[in-house]
Each structure stands twice: as structure tokens, then as C-alpha cells.
Amino acid sequence: MTTAIIGNTPFRKCETLSQLYESQFFIKEEFHNPSMSAKDRPAFFMIREAIAKGQIKPGGTFVEASSGNTGLGIATFAKQLGYQSQIFVSKSCSSEKIDALRMAGARVEICENSNGLHDFYSTQFRAQSYAATHPNSYFTNQYYNPQNIRSHYKTTGPELWKQTAGQITHFIAGIGTGGTISGVGRYLKEQNPNITIWGVEPKGSILSEFLTTGAIPEQHATYDKIEGIGRSFIPGAFDRDVVDHIFQVDIEEAEVAARQYRQLTGSLVGYSSAALLASLQRHKEQMGLTKEQHIVLFFPDHGSRYVSKIYSDLFDRLKTSLNIS
């Protein structure tokens, strides 16, 4: 097995954002991975380790709780290697992702929420229960699997350091499992401890408070369902030691930012990418952007997976052209 099939994704300067915020903005386009998502990286690393350690036998079933993208990576690689996949998603998952999972050969179960292993109705609890009660099943468990962080430490971080020629000053990523920002953050700060690592999460998520206080809030509001980011529990894959600050945005801001970016650039961005754009609008003064900074935005997937949710005008046009009521 080789990691050559994932990673080495394009990196480009975004002139629109650079001019708008008078700084140097760059985009890491992860939707060029095999299943159009950054989650291919941890999916492959987790599958590879499980097979190498004999934790699953040939023909077995890989199980994951996912907002869609990790599940799709698991399903894609499992099928290629002769395994099955069972993916648990929450009811907020886009119909495009669910369709893609089923097309990749996954069995999909839709759950009430993704609130962690303590909640009987969550994707995580259902995935763990399934793996425990079905022979030759393995729960990859992206929220606590060390390979999640390792995949980004070994691939994404080095790619960014090379692609920026070591000039990167800031890295901004959405936080869901914590694997991306933790793995990239660890690698980049080893190269230059002055690099700033910023995270973005939905309003009501608890990670920003945990980063600041080191404590898990006893009470918290329900967080905005921005697909792929935000948590009501602290994932084991989140390393607070390498994150400098976490900004919060609400779902309406993210959707507006996505549509504005489409108008300016013609590009469709996914929910968590849109959250990064919204964070620039809401927190630009706090960020203290300058012309000398080299800021990398991590775009983990493509807006085509959210057309029915974010880009309703395109969705309506598509239905009309296909004569679908």
C-alpha cells in the first residue's frame, strides 16, 4: 500500500482575498484528493494501519462516524482493497454526500446527531456499537485515532512548508475532529515556532473555550450545524498545544460568505471553507492582517457537495433543466 494516491494537492495564491484584505492569501485545495476531500489522508492512514496490524481480516467491514467526507474516503479505499464499509452520518449531512457514500459502496445509517460516545443516538455511539457486535468489523474512530493527526503531520504539513518555501506565517483551518489543525500545526511549529495556527468553529462549539481555559464547559449552547466542524465534546485528535486561537462564526455568515466568494471568483466552496471566509470578515480586526503575512487557508472539500444547501439558486436551476419537480 502506498500514500502516493493521496496528497500533493494544488496550492495557489488567491488574488481576490489578497486584494480585499491587503495581505498575502493562499489556498490549499484539498478537493483534488481521490474522493475530493482532505479526509482521504486520515482515511487511508487509518485503514493502512488497521490492515498492517491485523485488526481486520480480508473482506471485513470498516466502520466510521462521519459528517460525510471521512466516510467517503473510508468507503473508497475499503472497496479498492476488497473490504466493506458501514458509515454513520448525522441527519444534517447533505444529500450529495449521502448519495456519494452509497455510490462508493458504503452502507449508510442516518443518526440523530454527532455528539460523541456518551449519546446513544450519536453517530459515534452507533458506530462503536456496530463494530462491537459485528464480527470482523473495525471502527476507525477518526475522533480518537492517532493516525488522523499523523496523516497531516506526515503529508499536509510538509507539503505546505515546501509549497510556501518556508514563508508561511499563518495557517487557518476549520476544526472538527482536530486532526488537520493538530497535525499541520505540529509540523509547521517544528519548522518555525513563530507560525500562527488559527482554527475556526461554529458558534456554540466548545473547542475555543477549551483552548482558552483548558476545561470542558459544564453547560454550552447547541452549536450551529456547519458540516464538518464544531464539537460538543473534546476529540482526542485535538492538540490544543499547537493552536494559537479559535474564531467562531455562525452558519448564516458562512453561507453568505460562500455565495459572495462565488460571485467574486466563480468558485464553489464547501461549508467549512466558507466558515474560514466568514472568519476573515467577522474577525479581521482581531486577526491584525498585514501586507507581509503569508496566510494559508485550508479548503478541505468542494462546494459541489453542498449545492442543495448553500447554492439553492444553482440547485433550482439544475432541477429545472432536468425537469425534476
The grid coordinates listed for 218 are: 459544564
Return the H-helix or E-strand segment holding 103: helix 95-103
The pair phi, psi for residue 2, each rounded to 5°, is -135, 150
| Strand duo 11-13 + 24-29: pairing | antiparallel
Work out whether the CA dihedral 111, 113, 117, 118 comes out positive or negative.
negative
Which residues on neighbouring strands pair with residue 199, listed in sequence order?
Answer: 173, 246
CB neighbour list of residue 162: distance below 8 Å, 6 or more residues apart: none
Distance between CA 148 and CA 46 in Å, rounded?
Answer: 7
Alpha-carbon radius of gyration of the chain: 19
Name the nearest CA neighbour of 253 among 310, 295, 198, 306.
Answer: 310
- Identify whether the C-beta of residue 271 lies closer than 8 Å to the C-beta of residue 227: yes
DSSP calls for 105-148: T-EEEEESB---TT-TTBHHHHHHHHHHHSTTEEE--TTT-HHH
Active site residues: 39, 272
The grid coordinates listed for 261 are: 466568494
